[in-house]
Structure 1
Amino acid sequence: MKQYRQFEPVLVSDFEVKEWHHPVHTHNHYEIIYISKGKGIHHVNQSSLAYGAGNVFFIGPDDEHYFDIHQTTRFVYVKFTDEYMHQLDTHYFSGIRQLEYLIKRRDVHFSGFRFSSSDQQTVNHLFRVIMSLKDDPAGNEHLIWMQLISIASILQRNLPEMMDTAGQPKNMQALFCYIHKFIYSPAKLRATVLARQFNSTEDYIGRYFRKHAGITLRDYVQEYRNTLIRKRLDNGEYSLKQIAAEFGLTDESHVSKLLKRPEPKRRKRSVGK
Structure 2
Amino acid sequence: MEARNLYTPFELLQGNMSDWDPRPQVYYFFEIIQIQEGSGFRTVNKNRFPYRKGSIFLFTPRDCRGFEEETSTRFVSVRFSEMFVGHSHTPQEKERIGAWLRQLEYLFFYHNRQEQLLIRQDNDCKMITALIGNMVEEYEQKHPYYQENLQHYVTLLLNIVARNVAADINITGEEDCALLINQIMLYIRQHIYEREMLKQEVLSSKFNLSQNYIGEFFKKQTGESLQQFIINYKLNLVQLRVSYSDLTIGEIADELGFTDESHLSRLFKKYYGVTPSAYRKEGRKNELQKNIH
Superposed pair shares fold, TM > 0.5: yes
What's the counterpart of residue 39 of structure 1?
Answer: 38
Is 1:144 paired with 2:150?
yes
Q: CA deviation at 1:137?
A: 10
Relative to total residues, which structure has the larger helix share, 1 or 2? 2
Q: CA deviation at 1:87?
A: 6.1
Paired residue secondary structure (1:134): helix
| Mapped partners of 2:75, 2:176: distance in 1 | 39
TM-score of the pair, normalised by structure 1 = 0.75
Q: Percent identity?
A: 20
| Mapped partners of 2:225, 2:42: distance in 1 | 35
Paired residue secondary structure (2:161): helix
| Mapped partners of 2:252, 2:264: distance in 1 | 12
Report matched runs for 1:125-204 at 5 Å: 125-135=130-140, 136=142, 140-159=146-165, 161-170=168-177, 171-204=180-213
| Mapped partners of 1:6, 1:75: distance in 2 | 18
Aligned length: 256
- Mapped contact 1:130–1:147 kept (Cα < 8 A): yes
Paired residue secondary structure (2:237): helix
Paired residue secondary structure (1:164): coil
Q: CA deviation at 1:113?
A: 3.2
2:21 to 20, 23, 48: 23
Evaluate the alpha carbon distance shift between residue 182 and residue 47 of structure 1 in structure 2; reply closer, same or farther with a 3 A threshold: same
Counterpart amino acid of residue 175 in structure 2: Q
| Mapped partners of 1:34, 1:155: distance in 2 | 12
TM-score of the pair, normalised by structure 2 = 0.71
Q: CA deviation at 1:3?
A: 4.2
- Mapped contact 2:218–2:225 kept (Cα < 8 A): yes
The structure with higher relative contact order (CA 8 Å, sep 6+) is: 1
How large is the RMSD of aligned CA atoms in angstroms? 3.4
Counterpart amino acid of residue 11 in structure 2: L
Q: CA deviation at 1:188?
A: 1.6
What's the counterpart of residue 223 of structure 1?
Answer: 232
1:101 to 98, 102, 106: 106
Paired residue secondary structure (1:77): strand
What's the counterpart of residue 274 of structure 2?
Answer: none
Structure 1: tracts of 5 or more residues without a match: 266-273
